[in-house]
């Protein structure tokens, strides 16, 4: 496995790192406190090309390969886990449009997705269909030239500002399909889901669809491919969430090291206590292990090799490691880590969702074990 980035890609990751650390960290704190959307940042992100990371160059994107892409998401998450997931979900949708959209609309859709004003979202979950998206009830009735959609989707990231939604719909009693819905169509209603524990700058919405028309050309793949396309998207998406968890974990390690050096108790810096050193050492080991798993999954994807299990392993390990590392970061800060004047308090809350969305840790274990058991 070689994860060396080209010079151009290394420079891009550095540029994103510099921009994110200078511009996003303080805004991320404000988005968290006021529970307001980070999408105000989209014009600046678009200017850097971050809306077209996974869009081919011929359609105005940067066409960044998966390893470099994961490093960019990690750098965004270091400064703002909310911005990182906004870009990761959008990029996941760009990928399935590139892979599955009909020839007649693919170029136009991809061109739009790389431009501001065309953020995308991924709507498979419903109130009663989470880990089991196959039980989705949102209906798409076939009508002249297209489909008429009725139902309600839940937990949609980018759900308020987003324009293009990949929606998992039931096209028959035993048939699920995926369509690209323009959220500006009549009959679409979106409501924010307030009160999240973390990533409070990321939009999470409920979306009701009442007789919403979607042209037949906006079907991804074929009728009946819905679940297959959703799972393909999630394979790539899980690398993005692993990278988001890495960014959070990496920020936590830096913060606990800094604090342990500065804070004095018993006339010594905390860093001189072995108990603190062990928390830092364990965190660094887990961070690097998570990084390797994430790079490996991204590299397999880049090489065109199967990577479903690798992506689940990366997402499972990186998200759970980020939670443990954030817990230790708060512990090293003592009481100060419990108040929002210190960054670790927010990162601890932000880390939590990484082991829930795009498949819970339990679902990742099912994927990993299923693949292994099928082999023997």
Ligand X SMILES: Cc1cc2nc3c(=O)[nH]c(=O)nc-3n(C[C@H](O)[C@H](O)[C@H](O)COP(=O)(O)OP(=O)(O)OC[C@H]3O[C@@H](n4cnc5c(N)ncnc54)[C@H](O)[C@@H]3O)c2cc1C
**Binder among 86, 157, 218, 291 for ligand X (CB under 6 A):** 157
- Least distance to ligand X, CB of residue 327, Å: 19
DSSP assignment letter at 5: P
DSSP line for 269-300 = EGGGSHHHHHHHHHHHHHHHHHHHHHHHHHHH
Instruction: Round to whole Å and give the CA distance between 249 and 351.
Output: 8
Is residue 41 flagged as an active site residue?
no
- Least distance to ligand X, CB of residue 226, Å: 12
- Total residues contacting ligand X by CB under 6 A comes to 20
**Binder among 42, 77, 94, 123 for ligand X (CB under 6 A):** 123
Give the pair of three-digit tokens for residue 126: 């419903």
Binding mask 65-94 for ligand X (x = CB under 6 A): ------------------------x-----
Cβ contact 67:295 at 8 Å? yes
**Binder among 156, 207, 241, 260 for ligand X (CB under 6 A):** 156
User: What's the full length of the chain, in residues?
Assistant: 376
Pick the closest to residue 232 from 99, 339, 119 (CA basis).
Answer: 99
Nearest CB to ligand X, comparing residues 125 and 291: 125
**Binder among 131, 135, 268, 277 for ligand X (CB under 6 A):** 131
- Least distance to ligand X, CB of residue 178, Å: 12
Nearest CB to ligand X, comparing residues 230 and 255: 230
Of 251-270, binders to ligand X (CB under 6 A) are none
Give the pair of three-digit tokens for residue 109: 């859709």
Give the pair of three-digit tokens for residue 260: 């342990």
- Least distance to ligand X, CB of residue 205, Å: 9
**Binder among 289, 362, 369, 372 for ligand X (CB under 6 A):** 362
Binding mask 103-122 for ligand X (x = CB under 6 A): -------------------x
Binding mask 169-208 for ligand X (x = CB under 6 A): ---------------------------x-------x----
Distance of CA 117 to the CA centre of its chain: 19
Per CB under 6 A, does 319 bind ligand X? no
DSSP assignment letter at 4: P
- Least distance to ligand X, CB of residue 130, Å: 2
**Binder among 175, 356, 368, 371 for ligand X (CB under 6 A):** 356
DSSP assignment letter at 20: I
Give the pair of three-digit tokens for residue 74: 């990690």
Phi (first) and psi of residue 120, to 5 degrees: -115, 165
The active-site residue out of 75, 358, 362, 371 is: 358
Pick the closest to residue 216 from 322, 305, 141 (CA basis).
Answer: 141
Residue nearest to ligand X (CB): 130
Cβ contact 53:73 at 8 Å? no
Give the pair of three-digit tokens for residue 264: 């004095």
Cβ contact 246:287 at 8 Å? yes
Instruction: Round to whole Å and give the CA distance between 310 and 296.
Output: 7
**Binder among 229, 353, 354, 367 for ligand X (CB under 6 A):** 353
**Binder among 130, 134, 221, 269 for ligand X (CB under 6 A):** 130
105-108, long-range: CB < 8 A, 24+ apart: 105/180, 105/217, 105/218, 107/58, 107/59
Which residues are the active-site residues?
A: 358
Where on the chain is the footprint of ligand X (CB under 6 A)? Answer: 89, 122-125, 130-131, 155-157, 196, 204, 353, 356-360, 362-363
């Amino acid at each position: 496995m070689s994860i060396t980035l080209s010079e151009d890609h290394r420079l891009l990751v550095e540029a994103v790192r510099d921009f994110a650390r200078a511009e996003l960290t303080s805004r991320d704190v404000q988005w968290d406190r006021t529970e307001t959307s980070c999408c105000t940042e989209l014009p600046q992100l678009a200017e850097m090309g971050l809306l077209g990371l996974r869009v081919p160059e011929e359609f105005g994107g940067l066409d960044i390969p998966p390893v470099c892409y994961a490093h960019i998401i990690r750098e965004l998450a270091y400064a703002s886990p909310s911005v990182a997931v906004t870009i990761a979900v959008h990029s996941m949708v760009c990928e399935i449009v590139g892979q599955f959209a009909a020839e007649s609309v693919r170029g136009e859709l991809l061109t739009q997705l790389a431009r501001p004003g065309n953020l995308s979202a991924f709507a498979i979950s419903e109130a009663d269909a989470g880990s089991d998206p196959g039980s989705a009830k949102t209906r798409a009735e076939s009508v002249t030239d297209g489909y008429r959609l009725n139902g309600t989707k839940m937990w949609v990231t980018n759900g308020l500002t987003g324009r293009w939604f990949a929606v998992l719909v039931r096209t028959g009693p035993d048939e699920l399909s995926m369509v690209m819905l323009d959220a500006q169509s009549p009959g679409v209603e979106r409501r924010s889901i307030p009160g999240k524990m973390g990533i409070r700058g990321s939009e999470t919405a409920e979306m009701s669809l009442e007789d919403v028309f979607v042209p037949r050309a906006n079907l991804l793949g074929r009728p009946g491919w819905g679940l297959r396309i959703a799972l393909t998207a999630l394979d790539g998406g899980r690398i993005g969430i692993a990278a988001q968890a890495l960014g959070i974990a990496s920020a936590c390690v830096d913060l606990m090291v800094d604090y342990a050096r500065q804070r004095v108790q018993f006339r010594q810096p905390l860093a001189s206590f072995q108990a603190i050193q062990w928390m830092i050492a364990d965190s660094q080991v887990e961070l690097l292990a998570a990084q390797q798993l994430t790079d490996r999954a991204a590299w397999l994807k880049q090489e065109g090799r199967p990577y479903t299990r690798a992506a689940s392993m990366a997402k499972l390990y990186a998200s759970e490691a980020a939670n443990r590392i954030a817990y230790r970061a708060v512990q090293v800060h003592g009481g100060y880590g419990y108040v929002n004047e210190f960054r670790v308090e927010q990162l601890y809350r932000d880390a939590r969702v990484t082991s829930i969305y795009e498949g819970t840790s339990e679902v990742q274990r099912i994927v990993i074990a299923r693949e292994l058991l099928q082999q023997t």
